Structure 1
């Protein structure tokens, strides 16, 4: 059995479409960090023996069989949702080649017709930051000592632990331990290694496409992005049920393949969550999921911004401001927002920012004249970045400050959606509680001096 696929891996094998009488096709399966799993098939388009007629048809019509099995000396790989990726044909008896890419690659074989789609009852995913956030583990140990206090033996217990469970739409969700044991040996050394990580698991009563499970897992991954202000990509998926053993089989999805390719961060990059798992709990995760669809226009653009590395400040302004605009519309009227209306008495971009600021009641201190002024500064920066006819881009230092204001606002809004960790949000209501935006204003000697959102520099 192939127990994993890494970028750069290549396997030779035979490809079958599951139709009786159809010859196997020689092929090579590769794992690439850009396109994911790809299968390359060599064929002769005008072979007199007609051995490759079916392959020739796959590529000339650009419709390969939707599902196929790739047989290797190390075991089968089942390819679901195959798509044409290109082909090159040689004239005469020259060898041609074509490529297909599956939407989902299952390391193993299902005892079902290949015409049937991949449906599973359970799926689980590894996500960056989940180990640190939950502080969960499947490993416990106890040392045994002699009368002199010297360790004579260590008893290690590895046991699957369920950390939390909650209902999310039609799925039962769990945070649980997932572990494995591997052994290596040579002429000189032997070692046993235990892998131990926390995964998010979804289970439906009836088998569902993997995409349905992934949507539920993504909700938690997006929350973690807000919690850590850091990308939280998927690293691995497993599926089980409906003909797949309970221990599960690894599944590679084209939807998350580029996330696998990100460099794995050091664990200390996840040392400072906005709120701990204990402060949010399973009830908070259920609350987040309950509000997720209604607030999707807020969540998706902002979580996407946190999920990308190397963004320009202007990218952050655009993404977070879109989220703030949506959140302000969803939150509705807030006391005093009339000061941000247009001359015609209608809400403006500043109004939506004001609603978020008022809802959170963050304390900004003496460098911010008023919530109205800050809301207008946020709106002015956003509109100047967005509209080409506003002249030059805003001052870099001002944009840097507003980017941090926006990041704090959207992170606290996400936390409020969970219904948990209220005391964390409450900490930010006093100006004495430090945040990066205020620190940047002090560092750059900046102030917002009126309700219009005008910036000034100390001493100027």
Structure 2
């Protein structure tokens, strides 16, 4: 029976094959944990008279191992890529030693071909948080049959079919989001589980890390749309090196499970709550193929805006001060991209050069929403964001700002970064305009009234005007 997942705390005993001529196979144990990923432990005798383990002794001496190996275990053969020496222990009196290896990527299938070749795959796909919620795709449709006399439901017809998904290009990669499903029928019921998957394909097989880099761009976009951490939860790959036979001549390339150390921190993150995934700034279907391609194509240009807030969104339990600092870094970069706007001279320093509030004002002007319930003017709101940021950042500003003030500024500054990026993706501005009429934006502004706070033209907090 094939193995479809590695469970935390479950070990797999097998024989380790290094693919080199003349070296004996070794007994080894594979283990997996959310903290340390996949590791291999193998016992050996560390004694010069025991030639069977001479190659392992050399691994320990050089603190290096063959990069790629196979573990032939009870359930399946596991292909190991990016194996690295992770330490060893030794019992001197007995000569018994244990070596530990870390593994960069594990494919839950036996690979074909030369073990020395690096992992290159034709297609890769990821399951990630919020993907289904952001597309609105479903593989399930149903139709009820009614009794005309009683009005009662007498039949239910359910169709489950993977339809046309969302497709676009990211550089050299072709990207798709599709719905997959699995059905299980047992008396007295039928269970259908569906999920959305993101798939990448390059013209030629590429390292798995290249696929993940493209997937990460999409997960970062979802984090901005939802305003919460978005994790890559599972991966699968399809390539001829993992082909299976269908008789004498026919073969097919199934999707096989892959566990990557590069995305191990994602698997540790708690998933978003259903409430966090209810009200994104926009849905991927609204952004469309053109917007998704633009997000990827302009990534390097917008990187200084994206990364500070993206890194913060991936951290759970951030303080409001942390949010203000990271968002303000993004806003300064965004202000440079926007360029000069009307009236910004009011925010210049005494030396008549742009200040932090200038860059915030530029973003406020670019986004173009009504903030009159939070501040006396856009200049006042820009100064309020800049004042709070500088009061947190600079040692000589005395005590930290009032926590309520930082809370309100953190909400404003973070949504401003998100809206700036949405405006870049959807150049028509329609999606930002729609958000300006939404309940979440109304809630944000009402938070000022709820706290009895209002920013004056100088960016100082005062009482809410009754």
TM-score > 0.5, shorter chain as reference: yes
Alignment of 1:54-453 (within 5 A): 54-141=55-142, 156-181=158-183, 193-245=191-243, 246-419=253-426, 422-427=429-434, 434-450=441-457, 452-453=458-459
The verdict on how the C-alpha distance between 1:223 and 1:434 changes in structure 2, with shifts beyond 3 A counting, is closer
Separation (CA, whole Å) in 1 of partners of 2:218 and 2:290: 13
Per the TM alignment, residue 132 of structure 1 is displaced from its structure 2 partner at its CA by 1.5
Contact 2:339–2:362 under 8 Å retained in 1: yes
Contact 2:228–2:272 under 8 Å retained in 1: no
Separation (CA, whole Å) in 1 of partners of 2:133 and 2:106: 29
TM-score for both structures, normalised by structure 2: 0.90
Separation (CA, whole Å) in 2 of partners of 1:431 and 1:193: 36
Separation (CA, whole Å) in 2 of partners of 1:459 and 1:363: 17
Where do 5+ consecutive residues of structure 2 fail to align? 244-252
Question: Structure 1, residues 152-192: CA drift from partner, whole Å, max 9, x if none?
Answer: 87665443323111111111111112233457x8xxx6876
Separation (CA, whole Å) in 1 of partners of 2:163 and 2:83: 37
Question: Structure 1, residues 394-439: CA drift from partner, whole Å, max 9, x if none?
Answer: 1111100100001210121121122167333124668999444422
Per the TM alignment, residue 58 of structure 1 is displaced from its structure 2 partner at its CA by 1.8
Per the TM alignment, residue 272 of structure 1 is displaced from its structure 2 partner at its CA by 1.4
Specify the alignment match of 2:247 in structure 1.
Answer: none
Q: 1:456 aligns with which of 443, 446, 462?
A: 462
Contact 1:297–1:326 under 8 Å retained in 2: yes
Per the TM alignment, residue 35 of structure 1 is displaced from its structure 2 partner at its CA by 1.0
Question: Structure 1, residues 274-326: CA drift from partner, whole Å, max 9, x if none?
Answer: 11333222222122222222101111221222222111111111111111111
Give SS of 1:279's match.
Answer: helix
Separation (CA, whole Å) in 1 of partners of 2:136 and 2:465: 49
Separation (CA, whole Å) in 1 of partners of 2:142 and 2:433: 39
* Further displaced range: 109-118 or 282-291: 282-291
Contact 2:374–2:381 under 8 Å retained in 1: no
Give SS of 1:113's match.
Answer: coil
Per the TM alignment, residue 235 of structure 1 is displaced from its structure 2 partner at its CA by 0.9
* Further displaced range: 246-255 or 418-427: 418-427
Contact 1:275–1:421 under 8 Å retained in 2: no
The verdict on how the C-alpha distance between 1:431 and 1:88 changes in structure 2, with shifts beyond 3 A counting, is closer
Per the TM alignment, residue 442 of structure 1 is displaced from its structure 2 partner at its CA by 0.9
TM-score for both structures, normalised by structure 1: 0.91
Per the TM alignment, residue 31 of structure 1 is displaced from its structure 2 partner at its CA by 1.0
The verdict on how the C-alpha distance between 1:271 and 1:215 changes in structure 2, with shifts beyond 3 A counting, is same
The verdict on how the C-alpha distance between 1:146 and 1:74 changes in structure 2, with shifts beyond 3 A counting, is farther
Separation (CA, whole Å) in 1 of partners of 2:356 and 2:273: 39
Separation (CA, whole Å) in 1 of partners of 2:404 and 2:83: 49
Per the TM alignment, residue 369 of structure 1 is displaced from its structure 2 partner at its CA by 1.9
Question: Structure 1, residues 225-263: CA drift from partner, whole Å, max 9, x if none?
Answer: 111111111111111124234331111111111211233
